[in-house]
Amino acid sequence: MAGREGDSEIVDVSSLEPKIQELIKTSVEARKLAYCPYSKFQVGAALLSDENEPVMYTGCNVENVAYGMTICAERTAIVKAVSDGKQKFKAIAVAADNSVQDKFTSPCGTCRQFIIEFGSDVDVYLTKPGSSNVLVTTIESLLPLSFRSTFGH
């Protein structure tokens, strides 16, 4: 472990199970497809379904000239998975390059809510280029005391 940040730990990628290493690599590849002519901030996501033979779904951010319509990488991946019949997820990896602040990029509030909709037991892996460090956390840590309702789950 290389350190801690909030309710999370920073580990070396080599210490993670092979499937998670693959998930992280997939998120790094997905990032290259980002459509972000306005922010120029590329984000990639890879989502792992929770089943015997897990499937990976990729996502990138898709911006729009009407800025507010932008869809984040995490939500792109979730929408792809749900529209493919998956509603349970084990993990999500997010890759972005905030080298200016030397920070991991963590899902925005909307994406946290979108992830937790499909289960509170999702591991979250954050990476940045040029480092073998991975910030490992959970959606519950990222969105504590999340909204519950009588009509939801």
Binding site for ligand THU (CB under 6 A): 36, 39, 41, 43, 61, 63, 70, 72-74, 107-108, 111
Q: Would you say 91 and 136 are in contact if contact means Cβ atoms under 8 Å apart?
A: no
Q: 52 or 115, CB closer to ligand THU?
A: 115
- Among 22, 29, 74, 140, the one annotated catalytic: 74
One-character DSSP codes across the chain: --EE-SS-EEEEGGGS-HHHHHHHHHHHHHHTT-B-TTT---EEEEEEE-SSS--EEEEE-B--SSGGG-B-HHHHHHHHHHTTT---EEEEEEEE-BTTTTB-----HHHHHHHHTT-S--EEEEE-TT--EEEEEEHHHHSTT----SS--
Q: 20 or 95, CB closer to ligand THU?
A: 95
Task: Give least dist CB 18 to ligand THU, A.
Answer: 26
Q: 15 or 146, CB closer to ligand THU?
A: 146
Q: 20 or 126, CB closer to ligand THU?
A: 126
Active site residue 74: yes
Task: Give least dist CB 150 to ligand THU, A.
Answer: 29
Task: Give least dist CB 113 to ligand THU, A.
Answer: 11
Any idea which residues carry the catalytic annotation? 74
